[in-house]
Amino acid sequence: MWFPPLGSHVQPAPRRVPEHWIPDYRQPLTLDVVVGAQADRFPATSLARFFDQPYRLSAQTDRMGARLDGPALTVMGERLISEGISLGAIQVTTDGQPIILLNDRQTIGGYPKLGAVTPRSLDALAQRPPGTELRFRAISLHDAQLRERAFLQFFTR
């Protein structure tokens, strides 16, 4: 690794953070969701409700999961066998309320998962207090990867 000689003054090139990466905490939050393989366990009416209706971040939110209060979702089919759970997964419990799984989540679970919140949306969610209004927007995996790549390229150069 190269270090400048002592006494020299190396100034980093000035950069500005693009407006779209500066959060406005006064606005309701829209989270990007990559719909997952178990989305077929939710009737079309439940999926439409999830993406069309607002939810609120519950006071029961902790480092394991962001619990949401809002329209209950219906799940079809039999109970699932426990499987690994990723950061940002959106599990729907028996009461129909979604939970977005966070850093200290359990490692396995058997509730159906609607999809996963993208890393940038998780960053925004972690900065919001209980009571914040949330909405969800479906995004393709490809678009989510492009956005993540642009973010990482900007902040790692």
So what's the pLDDT on residue 7? 64
pLDDT in tens, 74-131: 999 877 888 889 999 999 998 999 999 999 998 888 899 999 999 999 999 999 999 9
Using alpha carbons only, give the angle 117, 87, 18 rounded to the nearest 5 degrees.
50
Q: What span, in angstroms and rounded, lies between the C-alpha atoms of 71 and 49?
A: 7
pLDDT in tens, 23-49: 888 888 999 999 998 999 999 999 999
Q: Write down the pLDDT at residue 80.
A: 82
- pLDDT higher than threshold 90 for residue 4: no
The H or E element containing residue 51 is helix 44-52
Residue 64 reports pLDDT greater than 90:
yes
For residue 30, the surrounding DSSP H or E stretch is strand 29-35
Q: Is the pLDDT of residue 140 over 70?
A: yes
Tokens encoding 8: 């020299």
- In this prediction, residue 63 carries a pLDDT of 92
DSSP code, position 41: G
Let me know if 157 is exposed, middle or buried by CB neighbors in 10 A (0-12, 13-18, 19+): exposed
In whole angstroms, give the CA distance from residue 69 to residue 52: 14
Per-residue pLDDT band at 154 (split at 50, 70, 90): confident
Is 80 exceeded by the pLDDT of residue 10?
no
Residue 63 CA to residue 94 CA, distance in Å, equals 21
Q: Which fold has domain 35-155?
A: Cyclophilin (2.40.100)
User: For residues 79 and 106, is the Cβ–Cβ distance under 8 A?
Assistant: no
